[in-house]
Chain A
């Protein structure tokens, strides 16, 4: 973690800095997965503009990562930034960020490059080194990183963001406050008790 302690007093962890570092990194990933889309909005209506930002998807990801048997959000952010730094070096770009940047290499990348980084550390061969100080092994990292894509889609397209002000409460205390943006964007009406549509289907006939 030494990398990101730049700018922190006496090398001690500043909880707020760490929090910002993790949030900014994970947000940059969530934004690459489900970005704002002005073009879709123009074609299909304002609702299509919104993305992971409005649905708190980064918060969902951090919460999910920290609910693994070994909390993983800080480690994931660290991995993404270290892999991003290496990627910049390989591209021949100056990888050294100013001291006050908080070590946020990952969010400097284009959306497509961010996803390439995630892909790189989602395969066993892709993790070139595991940052010193992380207690986990390569085989602990691979499944969590490749789960990120699924987690993002589950966080975004399920009811989770609709829990609104109760979204951080324990699962049994949450209340659905409104229709998630994701449901509106895809045209999912929400749960149902039944559909009155039995028996009108031609190609399901046996002949």
Chain B
């Protein structure tokens, strides 16, 4: 680049938000440099992404290699998803090194992945829109203004109506029994069930053909094999893999513009600013640490987009010594996620489904949902047994099941961690189990959020401390929604229902720690640091009412890219 700039725009992070911003900016002809802390799977320049440093950067779709991706993504849940040594962990590419540290004060955990694609590598790809009421509550942007951006992402990703398998069939049977009705709305104002809008390509049309060779499948389309969470690699090339993590969607689209360069294994440890009379304080460069070599470099750009996620974005702000703002890191929402599960008897399953088992490992990990504006949302899910057991039986703020007495009015039979012989008995019924994950609408509170540990640091700066406390109103909504999910299981015929009762500081939907209107203006540009934009879940004004947040962040990133061009690159080509 001219004038000593390394790029027009630097994007920090290549997850749900950053990859979208990069593609949109690249399409306008801007030179974009993405700095990603984790590895890049399925790229020939990193033939052994977890054991050797590989190249510095890649900027071409010619480097992407579906065979390599299939080698990297083994479909084995410990190899892929282990929180400490898995390929989808928050840590450096080299798995012989420990993960990066976070401090979660009350027993929760953070479910996030480093790597090109970020946490979309492991997400279920559920892509609902926010509830309009949630926008009316806290957003300075109207819901109507968001609709064209939603449509843009829904067409590009693309988002498709999911294909149900047994677990959804059973869930929807229960939802009907409860008296709920199907909704064809996408902008939800009242309760209803529907098939998920998923960022997953339609089903491979040859799937039911017994002569079709699944082993050597080179066709486009989902094969219902249930590995969304373990890393999907089904497709003829990287850009047409069925589950649309940004690794296989917005990243290839970004590379196709010819204007986007991506450096994985590059942890940004500081954002630097300049100052002039016209703009005041403005962002102009970043410090980057290579996670393999420890080499430190500095890159300059005209605009910086912060897309490091709701924990690292505020952490980076604070570690960079950017101006004090009482809302940086504050206002964390998590959807206070919880799980309930029910075990069914064979004869009941035969009657309802015409088959004796639910088989939770079959089909898209979640293909149906129940939306309940005012309370949140819940959805059936099923995964391989390790992850599935940790979610429904292994995570609780209420101790072990034998320490809890269930009250008459509660729809579940047991609450807490299932252990011992009962765990084995329940897991023996894994194939007759329907699991539901519940996302409740939690209010923004300034008490909740991310701060820095005052003493302890790692190679990337002071360590983030995550603190979350549930309010009485939040708890009430959560209990009510979990109760509905448990009742659905009972109505569907479950013989025994368990509630996990997760600690509310489990961070899987991590949102609103750098909110529009408090840290940024409505263009998502930081009030106090010009030329610094935010494009990740942290900029969301609240928890959207309960729906999974990625689609909204992606829609907003499209809008933010537009605003960046309008303000700082007005002569960039029209799309």
Instruction: Name A residues whose Cβ lies closer than 8 Å to a Cβ of B.
Output: 32-35, 37, 39-40, 44, 48, 51, 64, 67-69, 111-112, 115-116, 119, 122-124, 139-140, 142-143, 145-147, 149-160, 170-172, 174, 176, 182-183, 185-189, 191-199, 201-204, 206-207
Chain B residue numbers with a CB within 8 Å of A157 are 385-386, 388-389, 427
Q: Choose from A140, A145, A176, A203 the contact partner of B76 (Cβ within 8 Å).
A: A176
> Is A199 a contact of B163 with CB atoms below 8 Å?
yes
Instruction: Give the distance in Å from the alpha carbon of A203 to the alpha carbon of B493 in the complex.
Output: 15
> Is A196 a contact of B98 with CB atoms below 8 Å?
no
Chain B residue numbers with a CB within 8 Å of A37 are 421, 424-425
In this assembly, does B78 line the interface, its C-beta being within 8 Å of a C-beta of chain A? yes
Chain A residue numbers with a CB within 8 Å of B368 are 204
Instruction: Give the distance in Å from the alpha carbon of A42 to the alpha carbon of B50 in the complex.
Output: 45
> Is B458 a contact of A112 with CB atoms below 8 Å?
no
> Is A158 a contact of B169 with CB atoms below 8 Å?
no
In this assembly, does B124 line the interface, its C-beta being within 8 Å of a C-beta of chain A? no
For residue B401, which residue of chain A has the nearest CB? A115
List, sorted by A's number, 20 A–B pairs whose CB atoms are closer than 8 Å: A48-B424, A67-B99, A139-B105, A146-B107, A150-B394, A151-B83, A153-B389, A158-B385, A171-B95, A188-B384, A193-B214, A193-B215, A193-B217, A196-B208, A198-B207, A199-B208, A202-B169, A204-B164, A204-B168, A206-B182
- Bitwise, B398-412 to A at CB < 8 A (1) or not (0) is 011011000000000
> Is B385 a contact of A68 with CB atoms below 8 Å?
no
Instruction: Give the distance in Å from the alpha carbon of A143 to the alpha carbon of B362 in the complex.
Output: 32
Chain B residue numbers with a CB within 8 Å of A32 are 419-420
Chain A residue numbers with a CB within 8 Å of B424 are 34-35, 37, 40, 48, 51, 185
B23 to nearest A CB, angstroms? 29
> Is B77 a contact of A115 with CB atoms below 8 Å?
no
In this assembly, does B487 line the interface, its C-beta being within 8 Å of a C-beta of chain A? no
> Is A203 a contact of B176 with CB atoms below 8 Å?
yes
With A119-B403, A159-B77 known as contacts, the answer to whether A188 contacts B390 (CB < 8 A) is no
Q: Choose from B79, B96, B105, B388 the contact partner of A142 (Cβ within 8 Å).
A: B105
> Is A34 a contact of B423 with CB atoms below 8 Å?
yes
B405 to nearest A CB, angstroms? 15
Q: Choose from B48, B207, B385, B388 the contact partner of A196 (Cβ within 8 Å).
A: B207
Instruction: Give the distance in Å from the alpha carbon of A203 to the alpha carbon of B166 in the complex.
Output: 10
Q: Choose from A158, A198, A204 the contact partner of B172 (Cβ within 8 Å).
A: A204
B113 to nearest A CB, angstroms? 15
A94 to nearest B CB, angstroms? 25
A-facing residues in B109-138 (Cβ within 8 Å): 109
The 7 closest A-B CB pairs, nearest first, are A194-B223, A158-B386, A191-B75, A204-B164, A158-B78, A186-B430, A119-B399
Q: Choose from A48, A149, A188 the contact partner of B395 (Cβ within 8 Å).
A: A149
Instruction: Give the distance in Å from the alpha carbon of A40 to the alpha carbon of B234 in the complex.
Output: 39
Instruction: Name B residues whose Cβ lies closer than 8 Å to a Cβ of A.
Output: 48, 50-51, 74-79, 81-86, 95-96, 98-101, 103-109, 163-166, 168-170, 172-173, 176, 182, 184, 195, 203-204, 207-210, 212, 214-215, 217, 223-227, 230, 234, 352, 357, 361-363, 368, 384-390, 393-396, 399-400, 402-403, 417, 419-421, 423-425, 427-428, 430-431, 458, 465, 503
Chain B residue numbers with a CB within 8 Å of A206 are 182, 184
B76 to nearest A CB, angstroms? 5
Chain A residue numbers with a CB within 8 Å of B163 are 198-199
Chain B residue numbers with a CB within 8 Å of A204 are 164, 168-169, 172, 195, 368
Instruction: Give the distance in Å from the alpha carbon of A63 to the alpha carbon of B144 in the complex.
Output: 52
> Is A153 a contact of B394 with CB atoms below 8 Å?
yes
A59 to nearest B CB, angstroms? 13
> Is A201 a contact of B164 with CB atoms below 8 Å?
yes
With A142-B105, A191-B75, A207-B182 known as contacts, the answer to whether A153 contacts B223 (CB < 8 A) is no
For residue B391, which residue of chain A has the nearest CB? A150
Chain A residue numbers with a CB within 8 Å of B168 are 201, 203-204
> Is A158 a contact of B210 with CB atoms below 8 Å?
no
Instruction: Give the distance in Å from the alpha carbon of A198 to the alpha carbon of B170 in the complex.
Output: 15
A47 to nearest B CB, angstroms? 10
Instruction: Give the distance in Å from the alpha carbon of A191 to the alpha carbon of B76 in the complex.
Output: 7
For residue A182, which residue of chain B has the nearest CB? B385
Instruction: Give the distance in Å from the alpha carbon of A64 to the alpha carbon of B368 in the complex.
Output: 35
> Is A158 a contact of B77 with CB atoms below 8 Å?
yes
Instruction: Give the distance in Å from the alpha carbon of A94 to the alpha carbon of B82 in the complex.
Output: 41
> Is B427 a contact of A170 with CB atoms below 8 Å?
no
A109 to nearest B CB, angstroms? 13
Instruction: Give the distance in Å from the alpha carbon of A91 to the alpha carbon of B563 in the complex.
Output: 66
A177 to nearest B CB, angstroms? 13
Chain A residue numbers with a CB within 8 Å of B203 are 198-199
> Is B425 a contact of A150 with CB atoms below 8 Å?
no
> Is A124 a contact of B417 with CB atoms below 8 Å?
no
For residue A196, which residue of chain B has the nearest CB? B208
With A33-B423, A150-B394 known as contacts, the answer to whether A69 contacts B109 (CB < 8 A) is no
For residue A163, which residue of chain B has the nearest CB? B78
> Is B363 a contact of A153 with CB atoms below 8 Å?
no
B33 to nearest A CB, angstroms? 29
Chain A residue numbers with a CB within 8 Å of B419 are 32-33, 115, 149
For residue B167, which residue of chain A has the nearest CB? A201
With A123-B107, A143-B109 known as contacts, the answer to whether A112 contacts B420 (CB < 8 A) is yes
Chain B residue numbers with a CB within 8 Å of A199 are 163, 203, 208
For residue B101, which residue of chain A has the nearest CB? A69
A130 to nearest B CB, angstroms? 15
Instruction: Give the distance in Å from the alpha carbon of A195 to the alpha carbon of B109 in the complex.
Output: 33
Chain B residue numbers with a CB within 8 Å of A185 are 424, 427-428
Instruction: Give the distance in Å from the alpha carbon of A33 to the alpha carbon of B362 in the complex.
Output: 27
With A35-B421, A153-B393 known as contacts, the answer to whether A69 contacts B458 (CB < 8 A) is yes
Chain A residue numbers with a CB within 8 Å of B100 are 69
